[in-house]
Structure 1
């Protein structure tokens, strides 16, 4: 049984890294590390109460943090409501370093169990634990109801503000709107960013307008604003992004955002960036590929050993998603041959109309976005998920770090939603 736990910990870690990978897609994660993780967790569940007492419970407070999440998953599978109550206590009272892993396990397990044990806990614990519980509810996409604090002030912990703003997406609209408007004026960057994201998903005009004056901000809210303008902006908004790309402190973030604009003008700027660098910017090339469908495998430099390439994801525990910077640029490994890419563009550019928006070389469509969410690089998925959430006014909020099977069901069920086949600007989607 120890081998099952060790293997589960390994695949838990690999899965968390894969969520920020350029190389793996949701389908590959589902069939690879996630499937292996679940197989080893099932092996632990079969062991029943003796394995829970001897192996799983000690692992919750052990030194190997990567064992905490799989141990929690196995307990949820074998011990019923008693294990859920235990994990909620560990989440709020257990060792501080293991709490994010228990939170991720609860998020991964999903809301198949009743929130009846979860909701009453929120009002009974301190701000940090409240934030953890609200984050779990937000991941479950459950209405927090009375568990959501009715008022928060400037002195309340930023983490609690962020969790409340995320959870508010699934509660009564007047309550959510109040949180958004307060959050936009908050002094803390993480709070403003969460308010901006929630406001855009709710279709509020004030956060959308804020994106235009945040386009030059170097913080996380500025990163999100640039991505939102790329996804839903008009040609004038794309020009703002082109200007941002000329500022050295915003250059990487702006190049990252330009790929999601899908515009020919953005592609031309990305090509120009590569023309100025003999060993071309891989980030500019990746953004160009998002627009045009360029196959980068044909243009990579082969003179760098693999062990010098940057890692696709940071070391640490598996606390992934927007909470830790989903809007940051994940560093793509390697470099490209600039001259080769520019020569390709000279031949391909006639396929791209200046007025169109493109994804992987094809005109934008909901199907193209769904394809990116299922078969595209995992590190891009939070941005595409944001676009769908805004375009459906919160009707489809893909939980990009949730269990892959759940995400695939979300995407399959989206057929019932009425998605406009033309990429209308976000201006037309916003209400007062």
Structure 2
């Protein structure tokens, strides 16, 4: 099923012919599977192919089940979702997302028109739910239908439209000057995301320079600047790393991707600060340098960040945590429950993303590294134990844990100057198409793409 579009006979459904309990179950299952699908897009234990085979087809099947009901299902079950109050949407936003996508792709133009109109008039919670449907739906006219909203509505809607266009890689405009000059941070942030996803859109150096000075826009502005070889964006990254701000973890990643060995050494220096250690380890896992692997293997016994250290080490060296390299966690030796009067009732008990990572067996991993390290060249960057290249990076985007792929996708865009792009939050079908296109470009290109030198920044034409 490439699209949810139905044959003409399906539009002639009558309400008395509908099995309403079955249709309602389709909506319930689509809501649940949408939630599962979103979680799996950032899961540490799933790859792209696993999500494509296990989750996404089931989700699409239930959306198709809604669409098969035609007009009666749309009018009785789906269109009322667009009239929910903000508090009701907040309780089940993915139910609205599922219903809206079925309306967009399912049965007729009036249903789709209702979604587009609601997107412009809705409150923020409902609009966010509809935005995800617009990002993911496979209609070809989404950009054309949304462009008038940039003129007719205010900042909130403009920001949402720009984000949808960015997600879909559809600029649909020649210049972003008006939006990048807005006084509304959300609008500027949306325009910067569109500029990052569509490198063909021009961004004036003086405009970018101004945006870098606005703290709330620093990170998206740096992303746009680095993809365009803007020297001041790189300088700001270095300055932030020098200050060792605890909330600058995302910039640590850029330093790891763009910087040379000197910058990676500064990241390793951050490991001595417990407040920075987790972010520094996460960034070092993308650096590819052997000395970064050395530091990571030292920290895999750390109670707090050992899992992240092991993950980063494996990302560089290619070691697979299985069999003797995994520490089995048993129930034996668990602490007794804390007495109620001593328990911190305000403590955050939610699971962190790192809780899904495996725990390495330190001695086994260190022994493996002792025997294997001589096979790694200290002057080469590695990804999964292979010298880093465009082909290796595309392979990693196919097989790596979903949790790591958003940075790998940025690394691919950075190394190819925006020519090769994969959207890690898009449908797996779209991602697989993008990976196929990337392989074709790499195979046919007469020049090497995605080759990082010891000082990657030296390859830029600075402005």
Q: Please give the range of the TM-score, normalised by the shorter of the 2 chains.
A: 0.7 to 0.9
Equivalent positions of 1:38-49 (< 5 A) are: 38-49=60-71
**In structure 2, what is the Cα distance between the partners aligned to 1:180 and 1:55?**
46
TM-score (ref. length: structure 2) = 0.82
Tell me the distance in 2 between the aligned counterparts of 1:268 and 1:228: 21
Contact 2:82 2:115 in 1 (8 A): no
Q: Which residue of 1 aligns with 2:428?
A: 404
Which residue of 1 is the match for residue 54 of structure 2? 32
Judge conservation of contact 1:25–1:378 (CA < 8 Å) in 2.
Answer: yes
Give the alignment's TM-score, normalised by structure 1: 0.87
Task: Say if 1:123 and 1:147, in contact at 8 Å, map to a contact too.
Answer: no
Check 1:196–1:58 CA distance in 2 against 1; reply closer, same or farther (3 A cut): same
1:423 matched to 2:452? The reply is: yes
C-alpha displacement of 1:100: 1.5
Which residue of the partner structure matches residue 113 of structure 2? 85
- Aligned: 1:187 with 2:190: no
Q: Distance in 2 between matches of 1:336 and 1:82?
A: 55
Q: Indicate the larger mover: 291-300 or 175-184.
A: 175-184
After superposition, the CA RMSD in angstroms is 2.5
Name the structure 2 match of 1:269: 295
Query: Structure 2 CA distance, aligned partners of 1:181 and 1:199?
Result: 9
* Separation (CA, whole Å) in 2 of partners of 1:363 and 1:184: 34
- CA deviation profile, 1:372-400 (whole Å, cap 9, x unmatched): 21111111111111111111211122211
Identify if the C-alpha distance between structure 1 residues 310 and 281 changes in structure 2 by more than 3 Å, giving closer, same or farther: farther
CA offsets 1:239-258 (integer angstroms, 9 cap, x no match): 11111222222111001111
Q: Deviations over 1:25-54 (max 9, x none)?
A: 122111121111111111111111110011
Are 1:283 and 1:332, in contact at CA under 8 Å, matched by a contact in 2? no
- Tell me the secondary structure at the aligned position of residue 261 of structure 1: coil
Structure 2 residues without counterparts, runs of 5 or longer: 1-22, 336-348
State the Cα distance separating 1:180 from its structure 2 match: 2.6
Change over 3 Å in CA distance of 1:46–1:107 after alignment to 2: same
Q: 2:315 aligns with which of 280, 290, 296?
A: 290
2:410 — aligned with what? Answer: 386
Aligned pairs for 1:289-308 within 5 A: 289-298=314-323, 299-304=325-330
Q: State whether residues 415 and 451 of structure 2, in contact with CA within 8 Å, keep that contact through their aligned partners in structure 1.
A: no
**Alpha-carbon distance change, 372 to 312 in structure 1, aligned in 2, over 3 angstroms:** farther
Q: Does 1:168 align with 2:195?
A: yes
Q: Are the equivalent residues in 1 in contact too, given 2:416–2:449 (CA < 8 A)? A: no
Map of 2:362 onto structure 1: 338
Report which stretch shifted further, 85-94 or 407-416. 85-94
Contact 1:180–1:199 (Cα < 8 Å) also in 2 = yes
| Contact kept in structure 2, 1:76 and 1:83, CA below 8 Å | yes
- The answer to whether 1:69 aligns with 2:97 is yes
Inter-CA distance 421–141: structure 2 relative to 1 (3 Å threshold): closer
Q: 1:212 is paired with a residue of what secondary structure?
A: helix
Greater relative contact order, per chain length (Cα 8 Å cut-off, separation 6+): 1
Match 1:54 to one of 68, 72, 76: 76
Deviation, structure 1 residue 181 = 2.3
Taking the aligned partners of 2:115 and 2:209, their CA distance within structure 1 comes to: 34
Match of 2:251 among 212, 225, 231: 225
Bigger Cα displacement from structure 2, 141-150 vs 161-170: 141-150
Note if contact 1:263-1:357 (Cα within 8 Å) is conserved in structure 2.
yes
| Preserved contact between residue 135 and residue 167 of structure 1 (Cα < 8 Å) | yes
Compare 42-51 and 335-344 and name the one that shifted more. Answer: 335-344
Question: Which residue does the alignment assign to 1:320?
Answer: none
Question: How much does 1:301 deviate?
Answer: 2.5
Q: Deviations over 1:315-344 (max 9, x none)?
A: xxxxxxxxxxxxxxx554353322222222
Long gaps (5+) in structure 1: 314-329
2:338 aligns with none
Q: What do residues 198-228 of structure 1 show as CA deviations (whole Å, max 9, x unaligned)?
A: 11222322212322112244366x3232212
In structure 1, what is the equivalent of residue 419 of structure 2?
395
C-alpha contact (below 8 Å) 1:267/1:291 kept by paired residues: yes
Change in 2 beyond 3 A, CA 1:177/1:332: farther
After alignment, is 287-296 or 364-373 more displaced? 364-373
